[in-house]
């Protein structure tokens, strides 16, 4: 249960962070804004609607902090990779 929860939390925070970064980097109201909003909303919907998250686990706050930090850094790296690939064309 704990590994699955941490994996779900990692995917949730990665997708939500990636979407939030896309919204922050968008200029005015564009397709990037819609894409970012879709990612954030779908990440929250998937994470909280897929299972009952109000169960007792042995996952502690420190573990969640490190998973969140790692996924956010990966979202920043993924944004830099995708942005760089888009500019080379």
Q: What confidence score (pLDDT) does residue 86 get?
A: 62
Sign for the pseudo-dihedral over CA of 8, 13, 55, 41: negative
More confident residue, 45 or 85: 45
Q: What percent of the chain shows pLDDT beyond 70?
A: 91
Q: Say which DSSP state 28 is in.
A: S
Q: Where are the domains of the chain?
A: 18-87
Burial call 42-72: b when 16+ CB within 10 Å, e when fewer = ebeeebeeeeeeeeeeeeeeeeeeebbeebb
């Amino acid at each position: 249960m704990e590994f699955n929860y941490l994996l779900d939390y990692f995917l949730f925070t990665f997708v939500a962070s990636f979407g939030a970064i896309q919204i922050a980097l968008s200029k005015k109201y564009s397709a990037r804004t819609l894409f970012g909003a879709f990612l954030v909303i779908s990440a929250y919907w998937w994470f909280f609607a897929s299972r009952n998250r109000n169960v007792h686990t042995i996952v502690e706050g420190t573990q969640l902090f490190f998973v969140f930090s790692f996924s956010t850094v990966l979202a920043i790296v993924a944004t830099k990779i995708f942005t760089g690939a888009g500019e080379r064309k």
